[in-house]
């Protein structure tokens, strides 16, 4: 039977060999954390390599994602569908072993971890999902949801602000099944961290409300095992296990230095390491007895089989709950969803009510929420302002895990990363709100949700200079363009309640992308529509007003400026001009339509075009071309009442009419 040292050295060897072959990567952290990983994966981690999507698996998060060869080694050795050839192709085009772990690319990788700090913050969301779902679904004798979230993280993760936001909240929530391992090796890319990171991290986490286990020898398997057992025994607090390690452990001339952090060890040092750790095997060769000892397929299948038996009994005892669990974990919508959406849209159309679009979110939530307990809302301390509260609002907190709404505090980035964790866990569709201008704080989390292709819903209000007196610090200018430029991110800017409900419907239906709803603070007029226009709202852009025959000019607008375009249309039509108004609530979805539809809305023969949006002007030239005009923002805003600001920056009917006339000359 191989020793624990032999098992850990298999990880070290694969990691240093793969990095060397790629001539790129980070061997130090995998070599330093190999002993911790061996104990966790072989003694504690509940998973099934043959079914990486098993609902009740423990979640493992490598927050220090640069140490990717650590997780790739673990996945390969324990029996996941990750071949030795993929290990050899580390960091190469088309391989399943990219430079940082990528969700959806490598079996067993729970989330994309590249930007430091987001892994631990996302893991907090996973732990929230586990606890909330356990409260909802578990019954006496049936612990359907019962697993841990384990996190490996380094000094970089602990320095990044997002980890502070999320870990502070994790302590407040008392997430007892969240266990994090700090790779306390004292080294980052620039060298010894004590010159720039000398705080008492353990004391900080204790102040957060965490259970902290200090000074664990990260190369002593018995000490590591004891620490994990202690952490699992603490059920009321998340745990931080502070593991003292040596980066690049086993490399005799480079261990303990930044030289092992972000570069291959080199052939000579690898040869010396093999001798130092007693690994007398060629590159990429794992002896059969070590491979067999690592293989977790049999015990993983047994664990899942045991859970399956329990769940079969649960289905008999609680048939409705079990059906709901299966539906929610699959990410499917209730059968009534389409009918609910249509009724809400029809009601909004019949009411023909003018409203600030930030007030439309409760309308949508009241329509969908009663049938969708998976909707878990929240805001960054702006609930009343952003409109994320609905009739069945109930606060989820440490004292009440039956709630459906989280007050995240002023933690936009942490909120976004936690939402990603909830979506990745499954069983929850997270939504939350803040002001559009503060999406900057959360941009990296939104970007990762788009990169991973997961469903998160963002309510981003106060979306232009229309918010008025708060001034340029709070008036978004470039934010819509920035969000729209994120691949696979759906950005909606509705002009009235009908478009708002359609935006929510689209966001909920879209499993593989985040959606951002840009909502106004000011009241916007209701837009009357033909049946054809009503049916085409979902296509992201559609003809709202039209003329007979081919138009001389097309006015394109979104959100609060659609009403302005319609007023300009009325004036131009009165004087005999043939004009079309295109409402463009979601450019991302419109761009994805077929060429025939896009040509029907924006015929290429019509070059006289004017785009109107109280946001960055440059974005709109893709639709109007060099012959067109854009009425938009090219500077920051000002502090003044909204009406004065719109006049000052040229958002007037007169200016739109003038611009249209110029394009038609």
Buried b (16+ CB within 10 A) or exposed e, 55-86: bbbbbbbbbbbbbbbbbbbbbbbbbbebeeeb
d(CA 562, CA 559): 6
Q: What DSSP character marks residue 278?
A: T
Q: Which of 269, 412, 502, 613 is catalytic?
A: 412
Q: What DSSP character marks residue 644?
A: H
- For 401-412, give the secondary structure using H, E and C: CCCCEEECCCCH
d(CA 422, CA 312): 25
Nearest alpha-carbon partner for 179 in 211, 201, 214: 211
**Number of Cα atoms under 13 Å in the Cβ half of residue 148:** 24
- Which whole-number Å values give the CA distances from 486 to 8, 105, 447, 475, 565, in the listed order? 40, 20, 7, 21, 27
3-state class of 204 per DSSP?
A: helix
Give 447's contacts (C-beta < 8 A, 6+ positions apart): 486, 489
Nearest alpha-carbon partner for 470 in 524, 522, 416, 534: 522
- How many C-beta atoms lie closer than 10 Å to residue 627's C-beta? 10
d(CA 479, CA 5): 52
Q: What DSSP character marks residue 41?
A: I
Q: What DSSP character marks residue 250?
A: T
- How many C-beta atoms lie closer than 10 Å to residue 643's C-beta? 11
Residue 559, exposed/middle/buried by CB under 10 A (0-12, 13-18, 19+)? buried
Q: CA 27, 48, 10 angle in degrees (round to 5)?
A: 30
3-state class of 155 per DSSP?
A: helix
Give the helix/strand (H/E) hosting 162. helix 161-173
Q: CA 466, 469, 474 angle in degrees (round to 5)?
A: 70
Answer yes or no: are the C-beta atoms of 578 and 552 closer than 8 Å.
yes
Nearest alpha-carbon partner for 186 in 125, 134, 255: 255
Answer yes or no: are the C-beta atoms of 369 and 375 closer than 8 Å.
yes
Give 358's contacts (C-beta < 8 A, 6+ positions apart): 385, 386, 387, 459, 461, 462, 519, 520, 521
d(CA 223, CA 160): 28
d(CA 360, CA 356): 7
In the annotation, is 412 catalytic?
A: yes
Q: What is the pairing mode between strands 429-435 and 457-461?
A: parallel
Q: Catalytic residue positions?
A: 412
């Amino acid at each position: 039977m191989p020793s624990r040292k032999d098992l850990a050295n298999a990880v070290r060897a694969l990691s240093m060999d793969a990095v060397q072959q790629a001539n790129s990567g980070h061997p130090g952290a995998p070599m330093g954390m190999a002993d911790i990983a061996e104990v966790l994966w072989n003694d504690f981690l509940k998973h099934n390599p043959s079914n990486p999507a098993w609902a009740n698996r423990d979640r493992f998060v490598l927050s220090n994602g640069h140490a990717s060869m650590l997780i790739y080694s673990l996945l390969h050795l324990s029996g996941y569908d990750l071949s030795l050839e993929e290990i050899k192709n580390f960091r190469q085009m088309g391989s399943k072993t990219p430079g940082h772990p990528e969700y959806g690319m490598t079996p067993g990788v729970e989330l994309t971890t590249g930007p430091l700090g987001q892994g631990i913050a996302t893991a907090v969301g996973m732990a929230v999902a586990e606890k909330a779902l356990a409260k909802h679904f578990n019954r006496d004798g049936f612990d359907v949801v019962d697993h841990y979230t384990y996190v490996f993280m380094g000094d970089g993760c602990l320095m990044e602000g997002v980890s502070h936001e999320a870990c502070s909240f994790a302590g407040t929530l008392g997430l007892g099944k969240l266990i994090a391992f700090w790779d306390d090796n004292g080294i980052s890319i620039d060298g010894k961290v004590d010159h720039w990171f000398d705080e008492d991290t353990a004391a900080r986490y204790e102040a957060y409300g965490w259970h902290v286990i200090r000074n664990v020898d990260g190369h002593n398997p018995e000490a590591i095992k004891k620490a994990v057992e202690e952490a699992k025994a603490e059920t009321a607090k998340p745990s931080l296990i502070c593991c003292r390690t040596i980066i690049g452990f086993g490399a005799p001339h480079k261990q303990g230095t930044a030289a092992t952090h972000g570069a291959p060890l080199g052939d000579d040092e690898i040869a010396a390491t093999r001798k130092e750790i007693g690994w007398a095997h060629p590159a990429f060769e794992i002896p059969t007895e070590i491979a067999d000892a690592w293989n977790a397929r049999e015990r993983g299948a047994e664990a899942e089989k045991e859970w399956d038996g329990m769940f079969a009994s649960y289905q008999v005892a609680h048939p409705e709950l079990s059906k709901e669990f299966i539906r929610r974990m699959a990410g499917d919508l209730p059968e009534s969803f389409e009918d609910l959406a249509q009724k809400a849209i029809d009601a909004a159309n019949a009411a023909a009510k003018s409203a600030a679009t930030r007030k439309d979110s409760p309308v949508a939530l009241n329509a969908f929420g009663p049938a969708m307990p998976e909707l878990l809302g929240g805001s960054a301390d702006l609930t009343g302002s952003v409109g994320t509260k609905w009739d069945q609002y109930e606060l989820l907190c440490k004292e009440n895990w039956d709630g459906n709404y989280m007050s995240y505090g002023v933690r936009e980035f942490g909120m976004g990363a936690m939402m990603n964790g909830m979506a990745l866990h499954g069983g929850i569709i997270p939504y939350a709100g803040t002001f559009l201008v503060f999406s900057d704080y959360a941009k990296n989390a939104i970007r990762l949700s788009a990169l991973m292709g997961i469903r998160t819903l963002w309510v981003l209000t106060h979306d232009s200079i229309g918010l008025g007196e708060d001034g340029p610090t709070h008036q978004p200018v470039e934010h819509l363009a920035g969000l729209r430029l994120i691949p696979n991110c759906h950005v909606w800017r509705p002009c009235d309640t009908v478009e708002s409900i359609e935006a929510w419907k689209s966001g909920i239906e879209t499993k593989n992308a985040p959606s951002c709803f840009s909502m106004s603070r000011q009241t916007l007029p209701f837009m009357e529509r033909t049946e054809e226009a009503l049916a085409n709202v979902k296509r992201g852009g559609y003809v709202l007003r039209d003329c007979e025959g081919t138009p001389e000019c097309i006015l394109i607008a979104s959100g609060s400026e659609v009403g302005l375009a319609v007023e300009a249309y009325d004036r131009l039509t009165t004087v005999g001009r043939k004009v079309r108004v295109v409402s463009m609530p979601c450019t991302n979805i419109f761009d994805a339509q077929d060429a025939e539809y896009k040509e029907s809305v924006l015929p290429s023969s019509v070059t006289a075009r004017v785009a109107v949006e109280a946001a960055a002007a440059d974005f709109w030239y893709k639709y109007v071309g060099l012959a067109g005009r854009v009425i938009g923002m090219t500077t920051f805003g000002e502090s003044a009442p909204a009406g004065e600001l719109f006049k000052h920056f040229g958002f007037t009917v007169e200016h739109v009419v003038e611009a249209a006339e110029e394009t038609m000359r």
